[in-house]
Structure 1
Amino acid sequence: MLYWSVPFRGQFVRAVLAFAEKSWTEAGDDQIAELMGGDVADMPVPFMGPPVLIDNGADVAISQMPAIILYLGETLELLPADPAKRALAIKVANDANDVIDELTIDGGREMWTEASWEEFVPRLKKWMSLWEDLGRRHGLTAEAGTLLGETQPGLADVVTATLWTTMCERFSKVKALFEQSAPATAGLAARVSALPALAQLAERTRAEYGDAYCGGDIGASMAKVLDA
């Protein structure tokens, strides 16, 4: 897998692989930068930025987080059998991708300030309500259930736990808002994140990347404003 030495977008791929009890190796930041700066013809798949999944056994390379999640969901049999729920699982991955884009202000187009954060809070609460309502429509409570009403956690639940737990562990303002605005989703995220494979991944992530969420100035502004 190709991804920078931070969680953020690549953490979804890591989490799905860990949940499915699959092993993987990661290229270093220097190799990623070299590929991105080189000729597109030399890339394993044409891409503007990681994550990139390389499945050597199947001779497949895929970029873009939601596309990778779909591939893993299909090949590792983590998607629901029902076509409508399968589509909803991928909708969750796309929503997660949108949330992290907005949380980083389109990857650092601007930096967070106290004023811009307060202006964004109602929109983030609406994002949280999308998860909360989807889960409640399928019987989710803070104490039990899954996002799509499946008997066991699946792809949508792993994506959900990865999105919100990774943020909440690093940004106290997001955590407070999440627990207040989406208690059923918060309960789900806690249960899924406590599964041994995902708990071990979280420990490795902390050991390797510390408190980092994403890189650069936007990461610094997030740490300053959102973890106050």
Structure 2
Amino acid sequence: MIPQLDNIPHIMAQLDRAGAILPAELVTHIDAHAAHYAPLLRERLAQRLALTSDELAVYGRSHALIFLAQWHDPMTLTLIGELLLRHDDMLDGLYEVFEATVPAYGPAAIPVLAQVMGDATAPTASRIVCTTTLGYIAHVHPLSARAIIRTLRDALPVGEDVAHDHHEVWSWVVTTLAELRSKAAAAQVDELYKAGVLDPNICGRPDEYRRALRESPIKAVFAQPLTLYS
């Protein structure tokens, strides 16, 4: 039996205790009453978890993000930007969920992700997940690919900026450009290889990068986040 709206605290308690798998009736109920649950789920997503938090709390935040992305909740986009700028060790459990859900927002997410990706004060892991998520958006929304490729190219260093130590981020940008089969940045990437500021363990050696421009597979992503529960 699906619980009624007057029992929202009970539903939220179920969500907090569920772990990785949600019962189908719980998913259906929450999805059918987005207006009632969105504020509570935003609070759940925004909470800062202690390092001693158990696995259930981490899953609870992940479930919140999945539902909010499914609903294309606009306030959550701003919240995502704030979360990704946090230096918070407990975000690690959310990064894969970001990649699987944020593409549902489509081009609307590009400014938020680009801002974090280009912020040298943001956690490196957050900048990387923004880079890869931009690539996923381009796959789900092909008409946005040109703008995303331009955003990624603009993130690569030129001139004196090459000396700055963000090699890991740049290497993921190059990897994402290769996955999008963008040859427009090839000359710029060649210069970065020559400068020795790319990590071949991430983006491959120069010959592997050039081969990837021709052979990279299209990655499967979830356009509808609730399919993660299927």
Quick one: higher RCO (CA 8 Å, sep 6+), 1 or 2? Answer: 1
More helix by share: 2
TM-score over 0.5 for the pair? no
Q: TM-score range by the shorter chain?
A: 0.3 to 0.5
Structure number with greater Rg is: 2
